[in-house]
Amino acid sequence: MSDAESNGRHRGETEHKHRLLSLLGYGILVLTLGMGLFAVYTYRHLTENLNVLNVEKQLGDDRPDEADLTKPGKPLNVMIMGSDSREGAGNNIDGLTGGGQRSDTTIVMHLSGDRKFAYGVSLPRDAMVERPTCYNDDMEEIPGGFDMWNAAFAYGGPACAIRQFEQLSGVRINHFVVVDFNGFKDMVDAIDGVEVCIPEDVDDPVGNIHLKAGTRELEGQEALDYVRVRHNISNNGDIGRMKRQQAFLAALANKVMSKGVLARPDRLYDFLDATTKSLTVDQRLGSPKKIADLAGKFQDLGTQNIKFITVPWDFYEPDPNRLVWAEDANLLWKKMRFDEPLSKRLSSDVITAARRPGSTATPDPDSTESPSADPSDDASESEAETEAAESAEANGLCG
């Protein structure tokens, strides 16, 4: 082979390699740009889904002070409200009439400043409380009065519910989230359902809700029915419903934090899409990034360190169908104000995302709680398990 032929062949091979490298480079560039554009589209889409509400003026200038503690980090208090407005598509689920919106579900989540614990406190809708003066969108006064807890949301939306809580507890709310009925169903469907345990068949003619007993994944309307049902499942009405909502939210959190969702981009996107469509948030939480940052703070805790309880309560003597906050509620609000974990007295009926009634979950290895190593504690633990089983039965949960 001549030198010219040899040089020509080498030039051909070199040019071929250059073409391959160029094609590969262009392919990587196109893929990178495509992923970038998809990320931009996704972020913009999720942002447009959100309904952002600025209620700073309506909250007034007589709010509790922000927490100023010596611990590292800043504790956060988030009020979560379930809106049962019948005005949106798919929200007229039970034939109720009348405009406006109602909130039968209110949970205040406290996240510690050191990010080592969190607890959610359910507030009964039927509790009789003193509602402060509130303000509408035009800053016109809405008179206060002695009324059921959920009347504040009906009269003045999230701002009035927040004012009511802050005035009664002395705890400042940093963020709020409102979730509507229809969006809730889509959120559950996006992760292929949430596992619950129903101890007995439920036939509720009042809400037209019928559920079969057993442990299984609930989706769509069945999931919504489960968190709404109040009749023929427990003898304590709204209290039992709140405990079932806590168990459901714990199971939801456990599944979302699992690899089955986080490791599946398609499932995670569907969940985020459904979630952002269903949310109304305050302006300081008004972007997917800010919501993700907040969710990440809870995820880092480990499921065993996220607890759910109900505010201590007593029956309202003039009307046994109504409740009042018990004296121990003041102890709970003090814990929140000073960013302290729940005491044993306050957490006797606690539900966690890792250990739920009827679940077979194992303790979270990231939990800051350590099991008792003292054999003398076995008796007290057995008593606690018996009490927990009795409480579960009373609240329409599996033991």
Span 126-149, pLDDT tens digits: 999 999 999 999 999 999 999 999
Instruction: Find out whether 195 and 181 touch, Cβ atoms under 8 Å.
Output: no
Instruction: Find out whether 341 and 112 touch, Cβ atoms under 8 Å.
Output: yes
What pLDDT was estimated at residue 382? 60
Degrees, nearest 5: CA angle 294-286-122: 55
Residues 39 and 81 in one domain: no
pLDDT at 95 over 80: no
Q: Kindly state the DSSP code that residue 71 receives in the 8-state scheme.
A: S
The kind and range of the H/E element at 240 are helix 237-256
pLDDT at 225 over 50: yes
What pLDDT was estimated at residue 85? 58
- Measured between alpha carbons, how far is 67 from 172 in angstroms, rounded to an integer? 8
Domain presence at residue 305: yes
Q: What percent of the chain has pLDDT over 70?
A: 71
| pLDDT single digits (tens) 150-206 | 999 999 999 999 999 999 999 999 999 998 877 788 889 988 899 888 888 888 887
Domain presence at residue 167: yes
Q: Nearest Cα to 55, choosing from 176, 180, 144?
A: 176
pLDDT confidence of 86, banded at 50, 70, 90?
very low
pLDDT at 275 over 70: yes
pLDDT confidence of 122, banded at 50, 70, 90?
very high
Helix-helix angle 3-49:288-299, to 10 degrees: 90
> How big is the chain by its Cα radius of gyration, in Å?
26
- Measured between alpha carbons, how far is 332 from 122 in angstroms, rounded to an integer? 12
pLDDT confidence of 297, banded at 50, 70, 90?
confident
Residues 25 and 58 in one domain: no
Residues 95 and 159 in one domain: yes
Residues 195 and 97 in one domain: yes
Residues 98 and 26 in one domain: no
Domain presence at residue 329: yes
Domain presence at residue 200: yes
The kind and range of the H/E element at 155 are helix 151-169
What pLDDT was estimated at residue 242? 83
Mean pLDDT of the chain: 78
The kind and range of the H/E element at 288 are helix 288-299
pLDDT at 335 over 80: yes
Residues 189 and 315 in one domain: yes
Residues 342 and 247 in one domain: yes
Residues 19 and 80 in one domain: no
Residue 258, number of CB atoms within 10 A of its CB: 13
| Domain count of the fold of the chain | 2
Domain presence at residue 114: yes
pLDDT confidence of 388, banded at 50, 70, 90?
low
Residues 33 and 83 in one domain: no
What pLDDT was estimated at residue 208? 85
Across residues 248-255, what is the average pLDDT? 84
Last residue of a domain, one of 34, 49, 64: 49
pLDDT confidence of 363, banded at 50, 70, 90?
very low
pLDDT at 246 over 50: yes
What pLDDT was estimated at residue 153? 95
Instruction: Find out whether 304 and 364 touch, Cβ atoms under 8 Å.
Output: yes
Q: Where are the beta strands (DSSP E) in 62-102?
A: 76-83
Domain presence at residue 399: no
Across residues 278-293, what is the average pLDDT? 88
What pLDDT was estimated at residue 374? 41
Contacts of 95 (CB under 8 A, 6+ apart): none
Residues 109 and 29 in one domain: no
Q: Nearest Cα to 398, choosing from 234, 207, 257?
A: 234
pLDDT at 298 over 50: yes
The residue with greater pLDDT, 191 or 69, is 191
What pLDDT was estimated at residue 89? 45
DSSP SS3 for 156: helix
Question: Which residue type, as a one-letter code, is found at position 347?
Answer: S
Which of 208-212, 266-270, 316-320, 340-344 has the weakest average pLDDT? 266-270
pLDDT confidence of 97, banded at 50, 70, 90?
very low
Query: Could you list the residue range(s) of the whole structural domain that residue 36 is in?
Result: 1-49
What pLDDT was estimated at residue 118? 93
Q: Nearest Cα to 359, choosing from 386, 396, 399?
A: 399
* Alpha carbon 251 to its chain's center: 11
Domain presence at residue 164: yes
The residue with greater pLDDT, 13 or 46, is 46
Place of tokens 């539900």: 351
Residues 93 and 213 in one domain: yes
What pLDDT was estimated at residue 90? 41
Domain presence at residue 225: yes
Residues 149 and 36 in one domain: no
Q: Nearest Cα to 354, choosing from 301, 388, 304, 297?
A: 304
- Measured between alpha carbons, how far is 354 from 243 in angstroms, rounded to an integer? 15
Place of tokens 């427990």: 234
What pLDDT was estimated at residue 352? 76
DSSP SS3 for 69: coil
What pLDDT was estimated at residue 384? 52
Instruction: Find out whether 164 and 174 touch, Cβ atoms under 8 Å.
Output: no
Instruction: Find out whether 107 and 306 touch, Cβ atoms under 8 Å.
Output: no
Signed CA dihedral, 185, 126, 238, 363: sign only: positive
CATH of the domain at 253: 3.40.630.190
pLDDT at 371 over 80: no
